[in-house]
Chains A and B, each alone.
Chain A
Amino acid sequence: MRARRVRGVVVGAVAVLVSVVVFLVPFAFILVTAAKTAEEASLLSFSLPSEWALWDNLVAVLTTRDGVVVRAFVNSTILTVASVALMVVVAAMVGYVLQRRSSRWNPVVNFFVLAGLIVPPAVVPTIWVLQTIGLFKTIPGMVLINATFGLSFCVLLFRAFVSTVPRELDEAAIIDGAGPMRLFFTVVLPLLKPVVITVVVVQAVAVFNDFTGPLYFLPGDENATVQLTLYNFQSQVLSQWNLLFMDILLITLPPLVMYIFFNRQIVAGMTSGAVKG
């Protein structure tokens, strides 16, 4: 028993050491580079800044090019909130009916859900569709696209979770005279809260971090998202690595905050969604 405990401590300590080198050093590198002055950062060495310029760099990043980064954060926030809200409501409706009602259409719906998960979206034809309905290069268009691409994952999670809500509740509500809308929105949806939180957090991180979507469907400076500005920043501020890494740091913070507060939900969502899919 004692030998096993000693072994646990030794193996654990080695693992912690390796994890620091492999996983923490890159993040520490982002942090220290973001805190350096321009000349010191250009050396790109892994060392503590001789002079901490964290605040100056923050202000500099937020004010470059008339605050394009601030605008990008606003755009990304709007995009994330709207996409996730839309996705959650429409996917919950599908997952709910799909689980509650068994009909011969279910296999068809399930097939489409899986197809949505596996098939890579056809980019240029999607642009063609967006242009036809006048939503190319607009935030609403991007919201609809994000919601569509996230549907399958959400439906799988909702379908799995609806089965844990007892049907007796539906029946009680029906007896009390609730219609389908009331039954779903006031009785069932509130009970789905745990899975709704999971879906919201996981999809919010996914939409916020998405680069390919805005690259194709939302080009142009005025609607730029944080990932696009970060990418463009790379070529614009070549001599100012401190500002580039400050931008990376800023973009890393929202997911970090999400992870600290919703650790359990994120983990649950990633694994359960994965196992069901």
Chain B
Amino acid sequence: MASTTTSAARVAALPRATRLEEPPGHGRGGIRTMYPSWFYLPAGALYVVFFAVPTFASFYFALTRWTLFDVEFIGLDNFVQFFQEPQLVQGFVNTFFYGFVTSALKVVLGLALGLLLTSQIIARGYLRSVVFFPVLVSTIGIGITFKVLLDPFGGLVNESLAALGITGPGWLTDPAWALFSVALIDVWKGVGIATLIYIAGLVAIPQEYYEAARVDGATSWQLFRRITLPLVRPATATVVVLSLIGGLRSFELIWATTRGGPGFTSDVIASVIYKQYQAGFYGLSTAGNVVLFVVVTAIMIPVSILLNRKEVDR
């Protein structure tokens, strides 16, 4: 604010000729117009037309039977159907499972890799690049590749396991394993971001803390438990929030590997939305969207409040 007043004063002190060339409304206290509100307009227009309007419209269309030409108001029938048909309920439950498994694994593995890659080992640069690269690769390409690698008959993974004397499961074809396998692929692809965030958090911890604790005779476990873990909390919060946002609305990887199958065992809300859309049930599909919206906000708001509050308390 101080700088605003000084520059306003300076502008006011300018020779009259200069001031005449300035845009109208500029001058005394007019620094605000140098940062005009209409700069929000282009982005705001995009946001309103392509994001806000569809989001609000979805609350209405979710209550209708909707085909391309015809909208009929049917109240809450879509939601009733959503929570009665077992296959749709399965997608609802799977969404939670997928979101929690992927973010938990990304936190654990990301932290472990972060610790490894900030310690004194050889080939750190190579390891960082290699762990991060899958993040940038097309999800569809990775999905197809792993579908082949995880094939129960002659897939590379099960062949290798067989060579070690282990019979691998039908990763993507066994109903008991399918969703978990997709989650594992997701972690394989996404752990690079978690690792990066943890590396940034870990290098920010002052080394003096460790030295002081070591002088006091702390063990490695105590160093980790009492210094590292509390101090990387902001990084953990970021990883949890990011992977939950991604995991709860995940669609591409599931669609590229199992299409929600076998049966409906690996369906999530996002794939149910697509299936209902394909089948022409636009109202039901939109109801799925509203359910996803509620699930995501209902999880994200408490999670981010919880993670942020603890941080302030300390």
Residues of A bordering B, CB below 8 Å: 4-5, 8-9, 11-13, 15-16, 19, 22-26, 29-30, 33, 43-46, 89-91, 93-94, 96-97, 100-102, 109, 112, 116-126, 128-129, 133, 144-145, 147-149, 151, 155, 167-168, 170-171, 174-175, 177, 179-180, 183-184, 205, 208-209, 211-212, 215-216, 226-227, 230-231, 234, 241, 244-245, 248, 251-252, 255-256, 258-259, 263, 266-267, 270-271, 274-275, 277
Beyond A97-B40, A120-B296, is A144–B46 a contact (Cβ under 8 Å)? yes
Beyond A44-B155, A274-B238, is A124–B285 a contact (Cβ under 8 Å)? yes
Closest 4 CB pairs of A and B: A12-B122, A12-B121, A122-B58, A125-B54
Taking the closest CB of chain A, its distance from the CB of B67, in whole angstroms, is 11
Considering the complex, give the chain B residue whose CB is closest to the CB of A215: B274
Tell me the interface secondary structure of chain B in the complex: helix
Q: How far is the CA of A244 from the CA of B37 in the complex (A)?
A: 50
B50 within 8 A of A: yes
A-B residue pairs in contact (CB < 8 Å), sample of 12: A8-B122, A12-B121, A16-B123, A123-B273, A144-B46, A148-B49, A148-B50, A151-B47, A179-B23, A180-B33, A211-B138, A211-B139
Q: How far is the CA of A205 from the CA of B66 in the complex (A)?
A: 35
Residues of B bordering A, CB below 8 Å: 1, 3, 6-7, 10-11, 14, 18, 21-23, 31-37, 39-40, 42-44, 46-47, 49-51, 53-55, 57-58, 61, 66, 116, 119-124, 126-127, 129-142, 144-146, 148-149, 151, 154-156, 159, 188, 193, 196-197, 200, 234-235, 238, 241-242, 245, 248-249, 251-252, 255-256, 270, 273-274, 277, 282, 285-286, 289-290, 292-293, 296-297, 300
Tell me the interface secondary structure of chain A in the complex: helix
B290 contacts across to A, CB distance below 8 A: 122
Partner of A252, one of B35, B120, B138: B138
Q: How far is the CA of A259 from the CA of B192 in the complex (A)?
A: 13
Taking the closest CB of chain B, its distance from the CB of A130, in whole angstroms, is 8
Partner of B40, one of A8, A109, A183, A234: A109
B145 contacts across to A, CB distance below 8 A: 26, 29-30, 245, 248
A118 with B296: CB separation less than 8 A: yes
Partner of B39, one of A96, A148, A274: A96
Beyond A100-B35, A171-B3, A259-B136, is A16–B126 a contact (Cβ under 8 Å)? yes
A148 with B47: CB separation less than 8 A: yes
Q: How far is the CA of A181 from the CA of B273 in the complex (A)?
A: 43
Partner of A144, one of B50, B142, B151, B289: B50
Q: How far is the CA of A25 from the CA of B234 in the complex (A)?
A: 34
A102 contacts across to B, CB distance below 8 A: 1
Q: How far is the CA of A158 from the CA of B208 in the complex (A)?
A: 34
Q: How far is the CA of A255 from the CA of B54 in the complex (A)?
A: 31
A90 contacts across to B, CB distance below 8 A: 42-43, 46
